[in-house]
Amino acid sequence: YVIVNFARGLEARGHQVKLLGPTECVLWPRCRGGRSVRLAIGMWRRALRLAREMDPDIIEFWGGEAWLATARLSRMKHRRFKIVAHSNGLEPLVGETLSQHGLHNTAHGGPPKWYQGRLRFPVEKAFTRADAVVTVSQGEADYAIRQGYQPRERVLGIDNALEPVFLDQPFNSERPNVIGYCGSWLARKGIALLVRSGAMLGQERF
């Protein structure tokens, strides 16, 4: 919702946009393990190819997996394009917040596997090697500034906007209780609470 509408907004203002999703970048998509590594390498390869083919003004990355692509592309000689790190949630901040509550940033919510604990990728490079950072909240923008990712004048927080169709709904106290969920089914997003709440409402499936 956020990324697609952001791209549509740019196109509406006359910009030409090439938008690629994770499925178009990740290497060996049928493999089950090491997805973040495969995605990081794939993003770098696709971005490098497009930078040479399209001669863009801006390359905008979403997500901490862009650390490799950002680090490599930022060192390109005579590059004309700017690199923007646009985040739906700064991964270092997410990790710190979970750690403070004794939680883990894994899909299942449990401690990382032995190889995950050994692999420490410099995710901060996704933000420190970019030319600017854009976040989806002012709180995350302030965190990026405190961490020294970019100087204040190169950090921007843009709150996610909701379409009028979501905001102009009339209140109806008699409508049935329904739980709606959108996003990856990850433990850190509170799925255990959603499952328990759904069972209380008689909803066995989402």
pLDDT above 70 (res 203): no
pLDDT above 90 (res 34): no
Residue 129 burial class via C-beta count within 10 angstroms: exposed 0-12, middle 13-18, buried 19 and up: buried
pLDDT at res. 120: 66
| 39 compared with 178, residue with greater pLDDT | 39
pLDDT tens profile 72-130: 999 999 999 999 999 988 999 988 998 888 887 777 777 877 666 555 679 999 999 99
Contacts of 13 (CB under 8 A, 6+ apart): none
pLDDT above 70 (res 141): yes
